[in-house]
Amino acid sequence: MSRTKTILIVLTSHAELGDTGRSTGYYMPEVAHPWQVFSEAGHRVDLASVRGGRPPASGVDLNDRVQKAFLEDPEMRAKLADTLRVGDVDPAGYDAVFFAGGHGTMWDFPGDPALAALARDVYEAGGVVAALCHGPAALVGVRLSDGRPLVEGKRLTGFSNAEEAAMGLTDIVPFALQTALEELGGKHESAPEFAAHAVTDGRLVTGQNPASATDTAVATVLALASA
């Protein structure tokens, strides 16, 4: 039996969807469903966000029994109410970091140096870096110690340009996630729009969209087992 690992799920702290007047944040199903997978695999889950405290949520649906269980779990409820600030996190305490999605990530994940350092340090220590949907926005800013982008030459996925267009948000988000990952040398692989799709390349695990939440979490557990 493999030992218990500790996984840090990182959430956006950004609450505004550009200049639309609409709210955004992290996408609740992309936290709750991975939490369920990680917990059932016997792993410990912590929560962090860019600014710490209670981050803004979107996509909350209490008819989803997994979300309901997550929000009613005493431990996770307390952690969600006061998330760790990414800049205060000790990377040595984590076997994996999992960047959850939600459109808010497009604004505050790529430019945060503490977040980039966290991902680099976990990865270079032999841990797993995972990102789901818009969560791979975190990877845009990550350089390894030799200066190369973490995603360079790696197979990966993330919310596709076609999916962004289908949502009518191409001109709202600050950049095209798929394009940015490709420009860094990532080998982006897209499934049909909104179909479940997860990609593993060594210790980098990525998922394309919300439908990929469970698959991406399962792939993360498998990558941890072989890391």
Please tell me which residue in 43, 133, 188, 197 is annotated as part of the active site. Answer: 133
Please tell me which residue in 14, 164, 188, 197 is annotated as part of the active site. Answer: 164
Chain-centroid distance of CA 174 in Å reads 18
β-strand partners of 58: 27
DSSP per residue over 85-153, as a string? Answer: EGGG--GGG-SEEEE---TTHHHHSTT-HHHHHHHHHHHHTT-EEEEETTGGGGGGG-B-TTS-BTTTT
* 8 Å CB contact between 54 and 133: no
Please tell me which residue in 14, 134, 188, 197 is annotated as part of the active site. Answer: 134
* Active site (annotated) includes residue 164: yes
Q: What residues contact residue 78 under an 8 Å CB cut-off, 6+ apart?
A: none
Catalytic residues: 133-134, 164
